[in-house]
Structure 1
Amino acid sequence: MQFVVAPTHPCLPGHFPGNPLVPGVVILDHVLAAIEHGHVPLGALRLPQVKFLAPLLPGVAATVVFDGAAPRWRFRVLAGDVLVATGEVVAA
């Protein structure tokens, strides 16, 4: 699933003024939305491991890629060839 965080997103002015970066929580929100897009609503989830490896800039397309299936998904978030984040989501 691909997503782009618009440069006008309300989280950006405070993260960081003059040099906006997409906050990790917004990236994770898109990861969870991608999981729910292919499944029924999942309810409680755990994120036992998440690493943010590179910044994601507003207006840059990112892609969520999954390895695995319910109830445990490993994910990668890529902006082109750049690995932005990796982690694991586990359904409770």
Structure 2
Amino acid sequence: MIAPAPWRRRFAVPASHPSLPGHFPGRPVVPGVVLLDAVFAALAEEGHGTATQLLRAKFTAPVAPEEVVEVEFRGTAPGRVAFQCHCRGALALSGEAALGSPGA
């Protein structure tokens, strides 16, 4: 498997997402696992494979519901992809994942 060329996707977590009530009252923040789920869904939708293992992740800024997150993917090696998520011009999440075959 050849590392794919860099590509970008955008997403936003709706305010109606079931994880948000109570996280946190008065100032909702999208949970990290929800951000990772959106990143992995975008990866699979692009046809580059399924994330089979999270190799590393670092959360550096909060993301509120409805905020647009731009994720940039970059193949780092065959079967691996790095990602960076930016929101409001700030890095919110970065990491790397191992990939399975598309459709796996």
Question: TM over 0.5, yes or no?
Answer: yes
Between 7-16 and 82-91, report the one with greater CA deviation. Answer: 7-16
Task: Confirm or deny that 1:35 pairs with 2:61.
Answer: no
**Alignment match, 1:14:** 22
**CA-atom RMSD in angstroms:** 1.7
Specify the alignment match of 2:64 in structure 1.
57
> Between Structure 1 and Structure 2, which shows a larger proportion of helix residues?
1
1:6, 1:46 → 2: CA distance? 26
Secondary structure of residue in 1 paired with 2:26: coil
1:20-59, CA deviations, whole angstroms, 9 ceiling, x for partnerless residues? 10000110011101110111653x6111100000000111
Name the residue aligned to 1:75. 83
For this pair of structures, how many residues does the alignment match? Answer: 91
Residue 73 of structure 1 aligns to a residue whose secondary structure is strand
Moved over 3 A (4+): none
Higher mean C-alpha deviation, range 13-22 or range 27-36: 13-22
More displaced 10-residue stretch of structure 1: 56-65 or 69-78: 69-78
Q: Tell which structure's C-alpha radius of gyration is larger.
A: 2
Match of 2:6 in 1: none
Match of 1:23 in 2: 31
**Local SS of the residue matching 1:26:** helix
Q: Matches of 1:21 and 1:12 in 2, distance apart?
A: 7
Q: Distance between the aligned counterparts of 2:99 and 2:14, measured in 1?
A: 29
Quick check: 2:10–2:68 contact (8 Å CA) kept in 1? yes
Percent identity, aligned pairs only, is 41
| From 89, 95, 99, the counterpart of 1:87 | 95
